Amino acid sequence: MEKVYILGRRNGIKEGVLRIGRYYAIDGSLGSDVYLDGLKPHVILICGKRGYGKSYTMATIIEEMAMMEENLKKNIGIIIIDTLGIFWTMAFPNKKQEEELKKWKMDAKGIDIKIFSSPENVEEYKKKGIPARELVMKTSELAPYHWAQLFGLSLKDYVMAVIARAIDRMKGDYSLNDLINEISKDEKVDERTKAIAENFLNMAKSWNLFGKDGIEIKDIVKGGKISIIDLSPYGEEIKVVITAIIARKIFEARVKERKKYEEALLKGGKIKEEVPITWLAIDEAHVFLPNEKSISKDVLIKQWMRQGRQPGVALLLATQRVASMDEEVLSHADIIISHRLTAQDDIDALNKVRPTYMHESIGEAVRRIGEERGVAVIIDDVSESMHVIKVRPRMSWHGGEEPSAKH
Ligand SMILES: Nc1ncnc2c1ncn2[C@@H]1O[C@H](COP(=O)(O)OP(=O)(O)O)[C@@H](O)[C@H]1O
Ligand SMILES: [Mg+2]
């Protein structure tokens, strides 16, 4: 098999590679193709100033995964946490940039996706011909600290203690109505507090997000498939809680799969994995990985980043605010892709990552790349090198462009 240089991988065998772009020279000319490893779980961080190609690059990488060899792709599931509701356009061909695509000898093409979102959005997506399903979480999967986050309460608040007591008594799966009913039966609690607890839970009912039954992780994560969790209809607290729950469940499912896999290997057999190696792509990642305490950060850092290699979970993160993210994220990212960046605090944050193999700071390198969109500096910890590239144009339509008053 042909051998090439692959970012994020030690050997150069050209299989399961993602062709993300070409080398870019300061005079704007393009060199040979740039490949990224698509087989091993990585933590990839895409950063840069607004409008220079973060979401675009993220989608390009995902398109490449969707085009991987069938026998490899079937072992990888991709989930996009879409906070702004911009990734559905992946289903359609990139007619906007056909000229650009021609230069790269590529054709505009939509890709297969499935979207999970609110009932209203599902209806809209179906009208557009995109497969979509309502996002429903199992009520029983929420622990008291999830509810506290959703309601803006502290676990020390009396009303929260009342809800937690009821959760503690629930058995099996239950609906929000079942929970409200359980609270009403609590003889230790006065009517006023019961009414407040019920109010909170009724508010949760209005989000149409929790049911006795919910979506199973194996419905969302499927080998060779791309699932988009469109969280745009929900407030920030809800986005954080849903992401935390989904991420935790994937992680736990993968740990179990690995165990089954090892056991089967010991016996000399093979198993079909129910939940494949999973890539979680999170745009606007600072929302989920802030400096401050956060439920989603707990799962993503403590489980996905610190222990994710072994169970096979990988992250593709994009943010315009490196400085407001937990510092640990930068130290776990083995591939950093930085588009143009000008805010000094973000450059400073990046500069703290100063591997010994680099001759100049990331900040200086990023400054040199100029204003062209889609150009980026890549720092690859596996090959211990830094590269300047131009990300290839997307085949599928890019959503989420800034609105302009001109059209
Ligand atoms: N690699 C690229 N090739 C061609 N155009 C690009 C590329 N990357 C970004 N662009 C252009 O830049 C615009 C902004 O990119 P986007 O990814 O939405 O920015 P952000 O960094 O804010 O997420 C896109 O709408 C697209 O027109
Ligand atoms: Mg963006």
- What are the tens digits of pLDDT across the range 211-237? 999 999 999 999 999 999 999 999 999
Residue 197 in domain: yes
Q: How far is the CA of 55 from the centre of ligand 1 (A)?
A: 7
Query: What's the CA-to-centroid distance between 82 and ligand 2, angstroms?
Result: 10
Band of the pLDDT at 357, cuts 50, 70, 90? confident
CA distance 353 to 350: 6
Instruction: Count up the domains in the chain and report the number.
Output: 1
Say if CB 48 and CB 342 are below 8 A apart.
no
Determine the pLDDT at residue 223: 96
Q: Is the pLDDT of residue 332 over 90?
A: yes
| pLDDT at residue 404 is higher than 80 | no
- Does ligand 1 lie within 6 Å of residue 393's CB atom? yes
Cα 177 from Cα 91, distance rounded (Å): 37
Would you state the pLDDT for residue 11? 87
Q: Phi and psi dihedrals of 209, rounded to 5?
A: -120, -20
Q: Strand 375-380 and strand 277-282: pairing?
A: unpaired
Residue 98, ligand 1, Cβ within 6 A = no
Mean pLDDT taken over the chain: 94
Establish whether residue 54 lines the binding site of ligand 1, counting it when its CB lies within 6 angstroms of any ligand atom: yes
pLDDT (average), residues 358-370? 83
Q: Which amino acid is at 344?
A: Q
Number of helices (H), then strands (E), in the chain: 15, 15
Residue 351 placed within a domain: no
Q: Closest Cα partner for 279 from 53, 14, 64?
A: 64
User: Helix 191-206 vs helix 176-184: angle between axes, to the nearest 10 degrees?
Assistant: 180
Report the predicted TM-score, pTM, of the whole model to 2 decimal places.
Answer: 0.95
- 3-class SS of residue 402: coil
CB distance 377 to 34 below 8 Å: no
User: Does residue 94 have its Cβ closer than 6 Å to ligand 1?
Assistant: no
- Check pLDDT > 80 for residue 407: no
pLDDT of residue 134: 97
Does position 150 have pLDDT exceeding 90, yes or no? yes
Q: Is 276 in the pocket of ligand 1 (CB under 6 A)?
A: no
Residue 355: what pLDDT? 77
Residue 194 domain-assigned? yes
Residue 236, in any domain of the structure: no
> Distance between CA 315 and CA 333 in Å, rounded?
9
Residue 360's pLDDT band (boundaries 50, 70, 90)? confident
* Residue among 62, 372, 373 to mutate when testing ligand 1 (max atoms within 8 A of CB): 373
- Report residue 356's pLDDT band, with 50, 70 and 90 as the boundaries: confident
256 Cα to the center of ligand 1, angstroms = 38
Over residues 56-112, the pLDDT tens digits come to 999 999 999 999 999 999 999 999 999 999 999 999 999 999 999 999 999 999 999
Residue 92 to residue 111: CA distance in whole angstroms? 7
Q: What is the mean pLDDT of residues 275-279?
A: 95
The answer on pLDDT for 269 being more than 90 is no
Question: Does some domain include residue 341?
Answer: no
Predicted local distance difference test score (pLDDT) of residue 214: 96
CA distance 279 to 350: 24
| Residue 149, domain extent | 139-211
**Atom in ligand 1 nearest the alpha carbon of residue 49:** 21
The structure tokens listed for 141 are 């999967």
Confidence category of residue 273, pLDDT binned at 50, 70, 90: confident
CA-to-CA distance for 349 and 255, rounded, in angstroms?
32
Say if ligand 1 is within 6 A of residue 363 CB.
Answer: no
Indicate whether 139 pLDDT > 90: yes
Whether 181 is covered by a domain: the verdict is: yes
> Does residue 204 lie within any of the structural domains?
yes
Q: Are 229 and 132 in contact (CB under 8 A)?
A: no
Q: Cα–Cα distance between 364 and 166 in angstroms, integer?
A: 56
Report the percent of the chain where pLDDT is more than 70: 99
State yes or no: pLDDT of 184 exceeds 90: yes
Classify residue 53: in a domain, yes or no: no
Asked if residues 76 and 316 have their Cβ atoms less than 8 Å apart, the reply is no
